[in-house]
A and B are shown apart, each in its own frame.
Chain A
Amino acid sequence: MQQNDSRENVREIVVPGDLLSKSGLKAGPGTYVESGHIYAAQLGIKTTRSDMVGVVPLSGQYIPMRGDMVIGKIVDMGASNWYVDINAAHQSSLHVNEVPWRVEFGETGKFMTVGDLVSLKVVGVDELGKVQISMKEHGLRKLAGGVVIEVAPSKIPRVIGRNGSMIQMLKNATSCRIYVGQNGRIWVDGDLDSMLKAIDAIKLIEAEAHSTGLTEKVEKLLGQKCGKGE
């Protein structure tokens, strides 16, 4: 704990309106510029990288970005499209042209129905926040079996870890199939015990996302659980 406190100072938490830089740096995400000065626009951790200063948000809703892999839930159907909840501010529509099957007009329900979960890719976001989604890419499919849990979208980078290290560790330790959506939904499939173990670990990551030494904590949890189970 003491070690934790001493390192806390390095990761500076900023509040909207905090002055980040007076000049010389570029304004990164989570900031705004007023009369040449850069201020924080969001509650988060200040990050300075070479010539840019930004804020990594600690909370906030999922904001769709082009190229994001997300997990969507079918909430309604049309004759040639499905309406999908992707955990963003607006519902989005998945057109039959964007799925890997040939769907006749009016037969959308034969392929996916309300309540189904699907992995999707965000192919475009327009200036009105309207999101175009697609399933036409390798690996995108209807998610059958398993469970989907929701975590705060701002915590997703920690669940994945640097170059996917955290998620790889989870997969190896629990031998579950795990699919992480950028929108804060995580699909976990495996046998019951290992699924519960993986969910516990993900919940721990969510709760402790902003603390240091996260990897060790997760390792410890996974190790303990493995020991108990066998």
Chain B
Amino acid sequence: MVSYVIRRLLQAALVMLVVAFVSFSLFRFAGDPVNNMVGQEATQEDRRELRERLGLNDPFPVQFGRFVVDALQGEFGISYRLQRPVEDLIAERMPATLELVLVSAVLALITGIPLGVYCGIHRDSWVSRALLTVSLIGVSLPTFVIGILLIYLFSVQMLVLPSFGRGEVVQIGWWSTGFLTFSGWQALILPSITLSLFQLTLIMRLVRSEMLEVMRTDYIKFARARGLSNRAINFGHALKNTLVPVITIVGLNIGSLIAFSIITETVFNWPGMGLLFIKAVQFADVPIMAAYLTMVAFVFVSINLLVDLLYYAIDPRLKVDRGTAAGRLS
């Protein structure tokens, strides 16, 4: 047990080191950092001096070591575009993104699971066929099209919901929350629906196929033979058995929700990390890109680690191949 945990922790650390290396290379080699900092008039002397001051003349491993140490302390330098410490910018925008992601994940779960269960049980009914087709359309509709559509319907035509921003936020320490105001909740509605739709269809389809698999097992057949009610079988036995993989996926998909929030945030002018990142890409603002990459990777690795350890805790037999689980879920 202990050795397994240690091995996984080491693996996670290794992955983070690799990501840090990619970020660092981005930082160091994508465009000359000195050129990005000084104006055209800077003399050769100025440049040399800055180069020395930034430690760009040190040997490569030394520079990388310094980058890792800084990153561990949460320091990623100054944004080229906004001229502020990157960690401050990210800290300010993180609450917006995390609240959006949280609401979307909950939304996807509480609608996706019941729909999936329904489709799994009534696999041949026209409702579940229709649901499946609609879900396929959902997968084929790019996030931004959904967002535009919702804005057009609810903000412009019906004038009932806000189309941009977070509404009024309340500051609790360094965390800014939209959960405590009415306008904050209103502002959440459209973006969270937009962001959750893809995950919703995914969860629905997954629950359905898991249900189909489980329903075929001997275990369920025996339950039926014992004369248990359909209700008890469906929810007491079948659903319970499908939930573990579903929860796993949702956990793993928090990462992709964060990534897809880039698009949602752009459409709804949501002041989160995604909007910050997409601007950084457009403006070639490397420090923000590097920090965002490292941070999102950290979230992914942590979630993966957590899921692995939980799996291990629940069922030691599963320790063999976690890769398989990730594969089916992606």
Chains A and B bind each other: no
Query: Measuring CB to CB, which residues of chain A are less than 8 angstroms from any residue of chain B?
Result: none
Query: Measuring CB to CB, which residues of chain B are less than 8 angstroms from any residue of chain A?
Result: none
